[in-house]
Amino acid sequence: MIIYNNVWLANLLVREEAQRARKVEAISIDEQKKIDDMYPVGFYTPNIFIRIGLFILTCIIVSFSIGLFMLMVSDFKINDTWGFFLFFGIITYLALEAMVRTSNHFKSGVDDALMWISGGLLLTTFILLQADANPDFPYSRISFFVFLLALFYALRFTDMLMTAISLLALIATIFFVWKDLFSWGMSTMPFLIMLASSGLYFLSKRSVGKQLTIYYTNCLYVVQIISLLVLYLAGNYYIVQSLSPANAGVYNSTEPQPVPFGFFFWLWTILVPFIYVTLGIKNKDTIILRTGLLLIAAAAFTFRNYYHVMPIEGGLSIVGIVLLSVCYGVIKYLKTPKYGFTYEDLEQDHFMDKIKVESLIVSETFSGTQPQSDSTRFGGGDFGGGGASGNF
Amino acid sequence: MNIDLFKKLFDEGCISETSFEKVKGTSRATLFSLHWEIKTLLYLGVMLLSSGLGILIYKNIDTIGHQVILLIIAAISAGCFFYCFKNKKPFSKDQVKSPNSFFDYILLLGCLSFLSFVGYLQFQYTVFGTNYGMATFIPMVGLFYIAYEFDHLGILAMGITNMAIWMGVSVTPKQLLLNSDFNSQTVIFTYLFLGLLLLAAGYLTTYFSFKKHFRFTYQHFGVHLSFISLLAGYFFYHDSGLSLLFMVVLFALAIYIYKDAMKHHSFYFLLLLVIYTYIAISSLVLRVIFSIKDDTSFTLSFMYFIASAIGIIFLLINLNKKIKAA
């Protein structure tokens, strides 16, 4: 199923393992070189900057080629038929296969671009076909098609983003089908989605490290992250309330109906993020830990949406102080590693460090809005810049 | 770590016995690092606290006494700086690793409240009178001093941003694209001057080996600013002969950046250089094509883009190889 050379993929894993051993200085540079010689990898995988460049350029080439073709055949009025999109979808897909097979492109930007373009074109073909046959076709067909298409790309090219898309499309399909299947579909929806996403989580958790899925490890991590997020969101009070049948068709109403079992959903909204964090620390699982940290913020926002305990600026300041003191405490506590935890950065040459991403983020979020007229020409990067731009 | 794999590597003679023992040792005692989690939380904490305080001041500007507010901000700022001076490592011309991330972010908080302090002082008491240049000049000098004293890249970037504000323009890429208007001569020349100044600063840091690792930050802002302002200048003077001068300067700059990127093995600047030069060349080519005033110019321009993009792909791949070999 995988399009890539399996031997090379296996060798890549060996190399990664050697790289990790090299980082903790268990093996020497010479030994790493020796391993690299023994396990050759012929893929063309440039670094992230070149990848971005190649991605943009491939998009330029494809769009101008299609544009040129449209210019040439504009007299025949075929530009908006499904056949036109199908034709280009197939051509770009064949180009993708050819690039990967002959030039050994492996996550090089060229293959990413072709994958997205061909996928988009094939999806457009499907939608046009459906719309031609029956103008009000159910959404579940589209989401199911997206699921199949993205799953195919994910399996064939071991692509992480495609995995994410296919998983979300699967959840959407379950949602739409269940909604239309029963009259009580919407009332039971949170529980069904919870069941489905927790099932997916445990399935992917089990599958990591197995021989069959050895090349899909990163994809399985994506599945874990997304299913954890969906599992939480399925029981989040705000989402349950917005989707509950009592509020169907009522948008932006000032007094939304409370939902049945509201107590359960409130417990879920507040407790699940903390359960995630606890599990993450207990099992030393980065994925569930980081997801939990992210979701604590979501829980806080949900809570604030219903109960205005204090004005926002007081809340921000207090949360900020609490965060800073918690971090201070943790850093002090972990000055010498305890229980297998450390504060030190174990992977020093992270690529984010190389381009000094941290300093750029700081300058981007704290630089504030620019004074143009003289009357406000002071201060500059002071208050509220970060909060206003909503970048965090 | 995968012990079986390293056993195999050991049997194949790739690694020595001592290395194999080391691998076994490290895999038994793996540490779990909370580094990035804590860093993110610190960032969030500083951001929330400083925006919270900012809104607090903004809302209560008429109710609580000005002195009280000023005192609070000054206390926070002074407290942060006190902590940082107490815990800092001695100054050195080379890179100084900060004691920990907490230190970095407390320093950041100190700077942010310092900026609020100066801004508030100016707004309420107009300490600097109507001399707005001074009101931005002093924070700028302060930020640059702090950046060098504590070796903090984030504050250096803030200092550069402040320098731009002092000159009356904005520099972060997002704002450059969102809300700058390039329709005035002064703006273009200010940007160009600032960009070249930053490039020069980047060059000088390596030349004098004074905080060499600051070069990236200077150059990052310098490259974006200079290229964008040169392109803007070209379009602004599109109909006069001056436009060609901008192009000449742009290509000269491109050659300089190319040599520099090759020397420092920087893929990032190489990519920027290729993209900006490509835009410049394309606008020149399109100008020629559309000067024909014919129906074929559309088709020609499409063909140009297809061919040139393929060419750039090969160029990028080759440059990538070259930079790796260099």
Alpha carbon of A351: minimum distance to chain B alpha carbons (Å): 12
Residues of A within 8 A of B274 (CB-CB) are 53
CB-based contacts of A130, cutoff 8 Å, min separation 6: A137, A141, A142
Round to whole Å and give the CA distance between B255 and B259: 6
Residues of A within 8 A of B297 (CB-CB) are none
Where b means 16+ CB within 10 Å and e means fewer, A78-107 reads eeeebebbbbbbebbbebbbebbeeebbbb
B 225-264 residues with CB < 8 A to A: none
Whether residue A289 lies within 8 A of chain B, CB to CB, comes out as yes
CA B79 to the chain's CA centroid: 28
- pLDDT for B179 beyond 60: no
Structure confidence by residue, pLDDT tens digits, B32-49: 677 777 777 888 778 777
For chain B, what are the domain ranges?
36-168, 173-326
Amino acid at A255: E
Alpha carbon of B202: minimum distance to chain A alpha carbons (Å): 15
For residues A61 and A113, the answer to whether their CB atoms sit within 8 Å is: no
User: How high is the ipTM of this complex?
Assistant: 0.74
User: Residue A338, SS3?
Assistant: strand
- pLDDT for A90 beyond 90: yes
Would you call A314 and B306 a contact, using CB atoms and an 8 Å cutoff?
A: no
User: Residue A310, SS3?
Assistant: coil
Q: Provide long-range contacts, Cβ within 8 A and 24+ apart, for B192-195.
A: B192/B225, B192/B226, B192/B229, B192/B230, B192/B233, B193/B167, B194/B163, B194/B164, B194/B167, B194/B169, B194/B225, B195/B221, B195/B222, B195/B223, B195/B224, B195/B225, B195/B226, B195/B227, B195/B228, B195/B229
CB-based contacts of B113, cutoff 8 Å, min separation 6: B50, B53, B73, B74, B76, B77, B80
pLDDT at B271: 87
Least confident of A137-151, A197-211, B41-55: B41-55
Whether residue A295 lies within 8 A of chain B, CB to CB, comes out as no
For residues A381 and A368, the answer to whether their CB atoms sit within 8 Å is: yes
Tokens 């201060």 correspond to what residue?
A379
- pLDDT for A140 beyond 90: no
pLDDT at B250: 92
Residues of A within 8 A of B320 (CB-CB) are 46-47, 50
Least confident of A51-55, A302-306, B30-34, B67-71: B30-34
- pLDDT for A390 beyond 60: no
Round to whole Å and give the CA distance between B303 and A165: 34
Structure confidence by residue, pLDDT tens digits, A20-40: 777 766 677 777 777 777 778
Backbone angles phi, psi at A338, to 5 degrees: -130, 140
A41: tokens are 């990898």
**Higher model confidence: residue B176 or residue A42?**
A42
Would you call B12 and A31 a contact, using CB atoms and an 8 Å cutoff?
A: no
- pLDDT for A157 beyond 80: yes
On average, the pLDDT of chain A sits at 78
Amino acid at A53: G
Question: How many Cα atoms within 13 Å fall on the side-chain side of residue A372?
Answer: 5
Instruction: List beta partners, residue B322.
Output: none
A97: tokens are 């296969």
Tokens 């060499």 correspond to what residue?
B212
Alpha carbon of B241: minimum distance to chain A alpha carbons (Å): 30
For residues A299 and A269, the answer to whether their CB atoms sit within 8 Å is: yes
- pLDDT for A103 beyond 80: yes
pLDDT at A375: 32
pLDDT at A340: 67
Would you call A20 and B15 a contact, using CB atoms and an 8 Å cutoff?
A: no
